[in-house]
């Protein structure tokens, strides 16, 4: 594998891992919570969009907040990891930074400083997402480092 090929794989991996979960979470919010500030922007741009058919999915109905929190923390960890590229113990630092910020936001929600609903389960799901992402990042970085450069 050439150095440029490695770089392309690296970029694709991080793009998919950071952007797709974020978009998936956004899509769920679009279908279930059209009145939120981030979704209202979409419906102002596309007033004829109708995602109501997705809002009848029973599984998503129940697990929506946890899935979205998981996706957010997962994408956040990957984005931080991308920025910290080539930093020693990248995956631990990324995981820590994203979890600390998740925790801060939840605590701010609990205290009423920012909007949103505090839920202890959110913190657990965000922690799970950060750890999952860190494990994937660790394995990916290790495998790409072990690849021999032609």
Partner 1 sequence: MKKSIKAMALIAVIAVFVVFALGSGSKTDENGQTGSGEIVEAEKEAIKEAMAAEVTAEPTTLAPQPTSFTLGDTFTFDGFELTIGTTASFTSVQNQFSELNGKPVVRIPVKLKNVSSETKGFSMFNMKYFGSQGTEISGCSTYFQEDCIEWSGKLRPNASKDVAMYFVYDGDGIYGVDFDDFSNKVSVEFKIKK
Residues in contact with partner 1 by the rule CB under 8 A: 22, 26, 29, 33-38, 43, 47-48, 50-52, 55-56, 61, 68, 72, 75-76, 79-80, 82-84, 87, 97-98, 101, 105, 109-112, 114-120
d(CA 112, CA 120): 15
User: Please, which residue, 2 or 37, has the CB nearer to partner 1?
Assistant: 37
Min dist. Cβ of residue 32 to partner 1 (A): 9
User: Please, which residue, 56 or 148, has the CB nearer to partner 1?
Assistant: 56
Sequence-distant (6+) residues with CB within 8 A of 56 are none
Residue among 150, 127, 138 at smallest CA distance from 13: 138
User: Please, which residue, 1 or 16, has the CB nearer to partner 1?
Assistant: 16
Gyration radius from the chain CA atoms = 18
Min dist. Cβ of residue 112 to partner 1 (A): 5
Sequence-distant (6+) residues with CB within 8 A of 22 are 71, 72, 75
Min dist. Cβ of residue 77 to partner 1 (A): 10
| Token output for 133 | 């992402």
User: Please, which residue, 84 or 141, has the CB nearer to partner 1?
Assistant: 84
């Amino acid at each position: 594998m050439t150095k440029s090929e490695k770089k392309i794989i690296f970029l694709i991996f991080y793009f998919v891992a950071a952007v797709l979960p974020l978009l998936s979470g956004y899509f769920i919010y679009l279908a279930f919570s059209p009145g939120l500030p981030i979704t209202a922007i979409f419906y102002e741009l596309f007033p004829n969009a109708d995602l109501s058919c997705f809002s009848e999915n029973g599984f998503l109905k129940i697990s929506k907040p946890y899935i979205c929190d998981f996706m957010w923390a997962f994408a956040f960890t990957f984005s931080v990891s991308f920025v910290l590229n080539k930093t020693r113990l990248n995956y631990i630092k990324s995981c820590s930074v994203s979890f600390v910020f998740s925790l801060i936001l939840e605590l701010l929600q609990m205290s009423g400083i920012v909007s949103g609903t505090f839920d202890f389960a959110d913190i657990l799901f965000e922690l799970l997402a950060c750890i999952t992402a860190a494990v994937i990042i660790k394995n990916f970085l290790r495998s790409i480092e072990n690849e021999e450069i032609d």
